[in-house]
Structure 1
Amino acid sequence: MGKQKKARKYATMKQMLSLRDERLKEKDRLKPKKKEKKDPSALKEREVPQHPSCLFFQYNTQLGPPYHILVDTNFINFSIKAKLDLIQSMMDCLYAKCIPCITDCVMAEIEKLGQKYRVALRIAKDPRFERLPCAHKGTYADDCLVQRVTQHKCYIVATVDRDLKRRIRKIPGVPIMYISNHRYNIERMPDDYGAPQF
């Protein structure tokens, strides 16, 4: 004799009382929500993000020669691979004097890369490069560059990193310099400044 199969009862559930049920005591009952009537004469408040005063539509009025260019670690490495002189190629791209700026975080990142990137370190220590001290915690270069560009809109960011480019594109009025076809190109640069658009 085999075991007798029990027929399963589907969709059986103990009935639960609603919190609004009259059978519940007054203190346990859920109180009905009262809709507040909106006063049509009251002023409507909404929070609008503050836009920087340096932007005139998409034009950044703080950008102008001599251009200050924030350089990322991989931009230096890719420039060496493409055999490009950093300052000369920047001037060829923008047709104006360029001052490459390097933050302490980027410098620390290059130093961490070790002996293989000693040429990049030597280029970064060039006296023509302007050193920018960092006052924040941590040494993550991407966060450092994004934070600096958000606070001061007077920089162009030179990078080849896709993630960093994506983050900077969300900030209005910040041009991005990148490498393509063995030369420097720039995107989101206002037309007034004479930079070539490719």
Structure 2
Amino acid sequence: MPRAKRSKQYRKLMEQFSMSFGFREPYQVIVDADFIAEANKCKMDVMRRLEDTLHGQVKPLITQCSMRHLYGRKSEPGVEAAIEQAKNHFERRRCGHHPDEYPEPLSALECLQSVVDPKSNGVNKHRYVCAVNDETVRAKLRQVAGTPLIFIRRSVMIMEPMATVSVKIRSKDEKSKFRAELKTPDNKRKREDDDSDEEDAQQAAPNAGEADKPRKKKKAHGPKEPNPLAVKKKKSKPNPNQKPDNQNSKGSKAEEAVTTESTTKAEVTKRKRLRKHKGKGASTNSEAAAASGDGDGEANAADTKNQET
């Protein structure tokens, strides 16, 4: 695997550990005797490599039993340098296995398991990162949930993927969070409804004496009615007693014509102007016609008599 791809994978893996199991910087890394001896054999800068692998600050630790194992291998080449590095740069983790009670140091498996999982309940209580080269020790620590494992192979520091136990716990936590997020909107809505009810009650309390105002009805949920402008109008049934529109229009036109004719005749048959003639008879006849005012016929008759005279 290329270095960049492996680095990206390790960063994501530590993010998962931090989100699911609460790992924080500086990461506490417990190192056993075999791991630090192999690192010095390969002339590896352990601190820098651990920081590059875990993508964060590191706090290296070593147990008392591991230090006793290093002192027992002092005759091997490169172990003295490992002892000096452990003494100067690694913090001592007191595992409780004192030399007075345990003349022989405990094995790496027993010592690390007592430190990582002291109650044997399968939980990495103090969130340790275990840097172990022994395969049997790593197989045992995989059963402890939330335990990142690091080892060295061919002068390359490798971080194991998340164990199945840790993956199950992480997936369970994610499902519970997802369900909680699904439930929160209903709870928020209920709270908002309760708050609105309380506010309505507070507003209604001072106005209790006033007349109750009609409240607007809430809109009913369901299918909406069609747009009245888009609906065709219903055709009205024909009434047998009612005349058709053509006949009504003809009758109305005839009535209009009669009224117009009557008005024109009235205008034409106006009273004509009477001529004044000299003489007594003409004056008397004209006065009689003006006094009587009976119409156009009488005026004409008076004119004919005057002409005869």
TM-score after normalising by structure 2? 0.40
Distance in structure 2 (CA, Å) of the matches to 1:129 and 1:161: 20
Structure having the higher Rg: 2
Matched, 1:135 2:96: yes
Cα separation, 2, equivalents of 1:114 and 1:172: 35
1:59 has 2:32 as partner:
no
The Cα of 1:182 is off from its aligned counterpart by 2.4
1:181 to partner: Cα distance: 4.4
Structure 1, residues 116-153: CA drift from partner, whole Å, max 9, x if none? 22111111112x31111121453213211111111334
Whether contact under 8 Å (1:153, 1:173) holds in the other structure is no
Pick from 31, 42, 56: which aligns with 1:71? 31
Separation of aligned partners in 2, 1:134 and 1:154:
15
Paired residues of 1:102 and 1:132 also in contact (CA < 8 A): yes
Higher-strand-fraction structure? 1
In structure 2, what is the equivalent of residue 173 of structure 1? 146
Greater displacement, 155-164 / 130-139: 130-139
**Higher RCO structure, 1 or 2 (CA under 8 Å, sep 6+):** 1
Provide the residue aligned with 2:115 in structure 1.
148
Matched, 1:118 2:80: yes
Gaps of 5+ in 2: 1-16, 119-124, 168-309
What letter matches 1:182 in structure 2?
S
DSSP-derived class of the 2:43 partner: coil
Give the letter aligned to residue 124 of structure 1.
A
Q: 1:11 aligns to what?
A: none
The code of the aligned residue for 1:97 comes to: Q
Q: 2:127 touches 2:146 (CA, 8 Å); kept in 1?
A: no
Asked whether the equivalents of residues 60 and 153 of structure 1 are also in contact (C-alpha less than 8 Å), the reply is no
Seen in structure 2, the aligned counterparts of structure 1 residues 134 and 153 have a Cα distance that, compared at 3 Å, is: closer
1:38 aligned residue: none
- The residue identity in structure 1 corresponding to 2:70 is I
Unaligned 5+ runs, structure 1 = 1-55, 192-198
Alignment of 1:24-43 (within 5 A): none
Amino acid in structure 1 at the alignment position of 2:137: L
| CA RMSD between the two structures | 2.3
Matched, 1:186 2:159: yes
The aligned runs of 1:72-111 (5 Å cut-off) are 72-111=32-71
Contact (CA 8 Å) 2:95, 2:114: kept in 1 or not? no
SS in 2 for 1:173: coil
**Equivalent residue pairs, number:** 133
Q: Deviations over 1:42-88 (max 9, x none)?
A: xxxxxxxxxxxxxx9x9312x12100000011001111122211101
SS in 2 for 1:59: helix
CA distance in 2, matches of 1:115, 1:179: 22
1:186 CA drift (Å) = 1.5
Richer in helix (by share): 2
Counterpart of 2:130 in structure 1 is 157
